[in-house]
């Protein structure tokens, strides 16, 4: 299923109008101090990554696998930008939005020489890998509980897009051959979210977030799981800071006519945010 940018923008605008209307109607409702009427998170995910790109033929006879960190010397840590937006209206309902982007590329050159039947052949190979992964989700959330502890369940949809591949260029005595294997696909899938929030006081809070996306069938299928444990500190009424430790697992498969491509990416590490609440 594909959605144009204009349609996606209209859908998000509609959701925001509904949520703002609900916020205005329920602004006077009593609410747990573990929640905010409007909450904005802007920051980055300093992730330690382990990324495998694989390919296999339809009959399973031919397989290939490349680890970007071990085989191509990709940096294991890189900051991925991340943003969240939450609305709560009334006491127990709201919307949540989440977006992050992973963009990595690197190349490696291998040089060697071959002696065959008394002749010396100069050989070199250059491998370049790149992965760009975009993920966005929107969910309607129900919050249960009161006081300083609340539990949340969210149902919604996630959009993800993968663009990546490996290009190999080999040269032997001036003769060059190039081969490329890559993926460029996107998909929508249902999204389930779980959460817990606790307020120690008006300045300090902690939380646990977990979410899952799973899609069977279609051109791009697989699963994406994400979990995080974090704390928030608000030295000012409306501005504060957030820090969390997160784990993300991305496993996707793109089906092509002659072969299938696989992405297996694991991310873990700290995230830091500037927080705004209203």
Q: How many CB atoms lie within 10 A of CB 28?
A: 8
Closest CA to 66 of 56, 57, 58: 56
pLDDT for 6 = 53
Compute the radius of gyration of the chain from its Cα atoms: 23
Residues 247 and 185: their CA atoms lie apart, in Å, by 24
Which residues in 27-148 belong to E strands, given as ranges? 38-57, 63-67, 77-89, 93-116, 119-144
Q: What is the pLDDT of residue 152?
A: 96
What is the structure's pLDDT at 64?
74
More confident residue, 115 or 145: 145
How many whole angstroms separate alpha carbon 213 and alpha carbon 10?
23
- Name all domains of the chain by residue range, CATH numbers in brackets: 5-277 (2.40.128.100)
Q: Per-residue pLDDT averaged across 142-163, rounded?
A: 94
For the stretch 232-263, pLDDT in tens is 999 999 999 999 999 999 999 887 776 778 88
Q: Using CB atoms within 10 A of its CB, is residue 5 exposed (0-12), middle (13-18) or buried (19+)? A: exposed
Separation between Cα atoms, residue 82 and residue 183, nearest integer Å = 23
Could you give phi then psi for residue 12, rounded to 5 degrees? -65, -40
**Cβ neighbours, 10 Å, residue 119:** 8
Q: pLDDT at position 126, please?
A: 80
- Round to whole Å and give the CA distance between 227 and 196: 12
Average pLDDT over all residues of the chain: 84
Q: Percent of the chain at pLDDT above 70?
A: 83
**Tokens coding 216:** 């069977």
* Span 181-230, pLDDT tens digits: 777 889 999 999 999 999 999 999 999 999 999 999 888 899 999 999 99
Q: How many CB atoms lie within 10 A of CB 24?
A: 11
Q: CA 95, CA 193: separation in Å to the nearest integer? A: 11
- pLDDT tens-digit readout, 39-78: 999 999 999 999 988 877 777 666 777 888 988 888 899 8
Among candidates 237, 211, 236, which has minimal Cα distance to 224? 211
Q: Average of pLDDT values for 107-132?
A: 73
The pLDDT score that the predictor gives to residue 177 is 76
Distances (CA, A) of 202 to 14, 38, 179: 32, 16, 58
- CA distance linking residue 120 with residue 225, whole number of Å: 51
Q: pLDDT by residue (tens digit) across 71-82?
A: 888 889 989 999
Phi, psi of 15, deg, nearest 5: -65, -40
In angstroms, the CA 157 to CA 122 distance is: 53
């Amino acid at each position: 299923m594909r959605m144009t940018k204009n349609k996606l923008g209209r859908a998000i605008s509609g959701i925001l109008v509904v949520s703002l209307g609900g916020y205005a109607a329920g602004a006077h409702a009593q609410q747990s101090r573990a929640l905010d009427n409007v909450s904005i998170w802007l920051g980055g995910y300093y992730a330690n990554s382990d990324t495998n790109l694989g390919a296999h033929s339809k009959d399973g006879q031919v397989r290939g696998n490349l680890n970007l960190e071990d085989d191509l010397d990709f940096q294991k840590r890189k900051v991925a930008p991340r943003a969240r937006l939450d609305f709560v209206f009334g006491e127990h309902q709201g919307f949540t939005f989440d977006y992050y982007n992973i963009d990595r590329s690197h190349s490696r050159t291998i040089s060697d020489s071959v002696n065959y039947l008394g002749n010396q052949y100069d050989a070199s190979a250059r491998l370049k890998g790149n992965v760009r992964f975009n993920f966005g989700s929107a969910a309607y959330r129900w919050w249960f509980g009161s006081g300083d502890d609340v539990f949340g369940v969210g149902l919604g949809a996630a959009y993800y897009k993968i663009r990546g591949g490996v290009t190999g260029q080999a040269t032997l005595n001036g003769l060059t051959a190039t081969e490329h294997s890559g993926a460029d696909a996107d998909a929508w899938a249902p999204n389930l979210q779980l959460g817990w929030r606790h307020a120690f006081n008006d300045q300090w809070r902690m939380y646990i977030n977990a979410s899952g996306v799973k899609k069977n069938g279609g051109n791009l299928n697989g699963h994406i799981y994400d979990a995080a444990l974090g704390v928030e500190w608000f030295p000012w009424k409306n501005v504060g800071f957030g820090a969390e430790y997160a784990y993300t697992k991305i496993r996707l498969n793109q089906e092509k006519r002659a072969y299938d491509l696989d992405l297996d990416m694991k991310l873990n590490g700290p995230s830091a945010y500037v927080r705004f609440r209203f």
